[in-house]
Amino acid sequence: MFREKLKVLDCTIRDGGLINNYKFSDGLVKAVYRAACDSGVDIIELGKKLAVSDEYTREKYGKWNFCDDDDLKMVIDSYESDYRPLIAVMFDVGRVDISALRAADQSPIDMVRTACYVADTDKAIDMARRSKDLGYQTTINIMAPSAAIRTDLMEALDEVGKADEVDYLYLVDSYGAYYSEQVTDYLNLYKEHCPNKELGFHAHNNQQLAFANTQQAIIDGVNLLDATINGMGRGAGNCNLELLLNFLKNPKFDVAPVYKVIQEYFVPLREEIEWGFNDIYGISGHLNQHPRAAMKCRADKEIMDNCYDFLAECTAEV
C-alpha cells in the first residue's frame, strides 16, 4: 500500500504512558524519539499536556503527562538528525490550562491533539480553535464512539465539520470493539458529516485487529494513522508501528530503527509493564466495554488469566 498523503503518527509515549503514569526514563523517551527520526515517521506524540495542580503533580504523574517545553527540548536536542518528525502533545478536555500554551513559533510543539468524549466535543473544538489561533496543527479525537448514542455522535460530528480550525478528525476505537465492517461504517458516517475534513484513525488491539483495522481505515481514505512501537499502549495496546511501516512500503520509511529500539529498550520494558492482546482484553473488546474491568482483572495475579470467569462476570444477568 503506497499513498503519498498517508502520514504515520507515533504515539508510543503518550498511549504507553497510560500504563505506567508516564514514568518512562529519559533514556527510553530519547530512544523512541531517535527511532522516530531514523524511521521517518511523520509525527511523534510525546505525552499529554495537562495542567500541573496540587492533585496532578509532576512527581506523581510523570513529566510526560505535562510535556513542558524544557522536557521536550531535552529530548529533541538529544539527537542530531537531518530529518525530524513533527512534535505532538495531547489535551484532555477539562484538565488543561490553555492560557499557558505559548505561540507555536515559540514552542517545540507543532500539533495539539484534543481528546474528548462525545458530550465534550464543543469544549474540544474550542480548545482546537484556540490552539489553531496560536499556530498549531490541530486534531479532535472523539473517544469511544462505539459506545455513543448515534444521534449524539452525529451532532458532535456536525460541530466538528463546521470548525475550520480542526485539521484532522479522528475515529478512535477506544474499546477495541470494531471489526473492519464497523470501521468502514463509522468512517462513512464521519465523512458524511465532515466531508471536508481530513481523517485520522486510532486503533486498540483487543481482538487482534488494530493493525488490520488500520489497513481498513487506509482503504476507506484515512490519511493519518496512529501506531505505537511494539503496539505499546493502554490495555491491549495499539497498532504496531513496525507492522504498519512494513505494510506501507513507502520508501520514506525504514523499519529497522524501530526493531532496534524494540530489541534494546522494549524487550526489557516488557518485563516491567504489560500491554498487548490477551483473552481478557479480547472479551472486553468483543463486548464493547471500557477496558477498566479488564485492566482490573489483569492487575490481580490470582485471576488475571481466568477468562471463563471474566466472561461469566461480564455477561451475567443482573
* Contact residues: its own copies, CB under 8 A: 1, 179-181, 205, 207-213, 215-216, 230, 240, 242-243, 246-247, 255-256, 259-260, 262-264, 267, 277, 279, 282-283, 286, 305-309, 311-312
Return the number of the residue (99 or 249) whose C-beta is nearest its own copies: 249
Closest approach, Cβ 290 to its own copies, in A, equals 18
Residue nearer to its own copies on the CB measure, 121 or 216: 216
Which residue, 110 or 305, has its beta carbon nearer to its own copies? 305
> Cβ of residue 99: shortest distance to its own copies, in angstroms?
43
CB of 209 to its own copies, least distance (A): 6
- Give whichever of 189 and 314 is closer to its own copies, judged by the CB atom: 314
| Least distance between its own copies and beta carbon 288 (Å) | 11
Residue 284 makes CB contacts below 8 A (sequence gap 6+) with: 175, 176, 206, 235, 236, 291, 293, 294, 314
| DSSP structure class, residue 252 | T
> Dihedrals φ, ψ of 10, to 5°?
-85, 110
3-state secondary structure of 129: helix
Pick 200 or 237: Cβ nearer its own copies: 237
| Residue 201, C-alpha cell as written in the block | 484513525
Chain Cα centroid distance, residue 214: 13
Nearer Cβ to its own copies (16/161): 16
Sequence-ordered alpha helix ranges (H) in 91-198: 121-133, 150-162, 180-193
Cell of 219: 482503504
Q: What is the closest distance, in whole angstroms, from the C-beta atom of residue 265 to its own copies in the complex?
A: 11
Amino acid identity of 77?
D
Q: What nine digits make up the cell of 81?
A: 538528525
Give min distance, CB of 114 to its own copies, in A.
Answer: 29
193 neighbors 214 (Cβ within 8 angstroms): no
- Tell me how far, at minimum, the Cβ of 223 lies from its own copies, in Å: 18
Contacts of 76 (CB under 8 A, 6+ apart): 33, 84, 87, 108
CA distance 45 to 87: 6
Residue 103 or 267: the one with the smaller Cβ distance to its own copies is 267
Is the CA virtual torsion 275, 278, 280, 285 positive or negative? Answer: positive
